[in-house]
Amino acid sequence: MSALPFDSATYAVELEAKANRLRELLAPFDAPEPQVFDSPLKHFRLRAEFRLWREGGERHYAMFAQDDKRTPILIEDFPIASLRINQLMPQLKAAWQASSALSHKLFQVEFQTTLAGDAMVTLCYHRPLDERWQTAAEQLAKDLDISVIGRSKGKRVVIGRDHVVEKLEVAGRTFTYQQPEGAFTQPNGTVNQKMLNWAYDALGERSDDLLELYCGNGNFTLPLATRVRKVLATEISKTSVYAALNNLRDNAVDNVTLVRLSAEELTEALNEVRPFRRLQGIDLKSYEFGSVFVDPPRAGMDPDTCELTRRFDNILYISCNPATLAENIAQLHDTHRIERCAVFDQFPWTHHMESGVLLVRR
């Protein structure tokens, strides 16, 4: 990894370039000036994953350039990662150096932390995990005040919890989130909080219902549910669905019905193409949907799902790929106009960016 400057002047130039990219992509749709939400320059990333590389008789944290998977870049600290990860890296390294039970055939380490200070470490092995490993890992979890997960082929051992707990403030209310190991979460917690507040404000206070597609662990669902009468939310990942249900319970949000369906399947259900057993007992006709919220993968919405969103007066769209966002807006532009847009710098020092738009019916 090349050294990053971490200076505010360079960062300002890079952030403006991202804002310009969104301006250019949305210019054909007469978009307003985007709001721009910046990131901390350092210690913004709450997760990190490292391979281990043997050199000089020791295992070192290592990463690889995208175009060179053979030449390791050995890492002692990782300035873009959270302070908690940087604190844990040398402590964990010292622990495996002192313990053959922890180090034997250890090949990968994954860190997951939160703004709230919680931490979980996943240790991946090319061998079965035995009682010696269990004893050493339990001591490690106690010494470092973390949860530890051991992974080997076909097996997962959890010491502590299999998730971290995050706390995010939206419009003066603190929401608590379980974020499971291995499931998607927004990596930049500070910017995620800015995204949540922007979406909360953009949706506004409403007396009708919200449809949410790709809801994940309920990251946006919790605050947005407080703005509407009720929510129908969908997600296909079982791990994320279970986390979302726990998060709804933990935050006493009781106006959300969560269904494990893909966006494409829900489109078929709403179009009455075919029934789904997972929708049994849910009266889709009882909803008075005024708005739809989508946060799709990088490929954006497929054409049928995009067409489905056209039915709603308001389309609130968070995107991790501005190019596919623009493609989707092109499909909707004849019926909807862009009322608000924003750039969220989830990934400083890279070309990647998150963006958001509010589309309203013409």
Q: Tell me the catalytic residues.
A: 320, 354
For residue 4, how many C-alpha atoms fall within 13 Å in the half-sphere facing its CB? 17
Q: Is 214 marked as binding a ligand?
A: yes
Sign of torsion over alpha carbons 271, 290, 333, 356 = negative
Please tell me what DSSP assigns to residue 45: B
- CB 200, CB 170: distance < 8 Å: yes
On whether 11 is known to bind a ligand per the annotation, the reply is no
CB 70 within 8 A of CB 118: no
With beta carbons less than 8 A apart as the criterion, state whether 189 and 210 touch: no
Cβ–Cβ under 8 Å, residues 190 and 39: yes
User: 259 phi and psi, to 5 degrees?
Assistant: -125, 135
Beta strand 231-234 with 256-259: parallel, antiparallel or unpaired? parallel
121 φ, ψ (degrees, to nearest 5): -125, 130
255 is in an annotated binding site: no
User: Which token pair is 271?
Assistant: 């179009």
Q: Is 295 annotated as a binding residue?
A: yes
CB crowding 138-154: b at 16 or more within 10 Å, else e: ebbbeebebbbbbbbee
Q: Does 219 belong to an annotated binding site?
A: yes
Which residues line the annotated binding site?
186, 214, 219, 235, 295
Which residues line the annotated binding site for S-adenosyl-L-methionine?
186, 214, 219, 235, 295
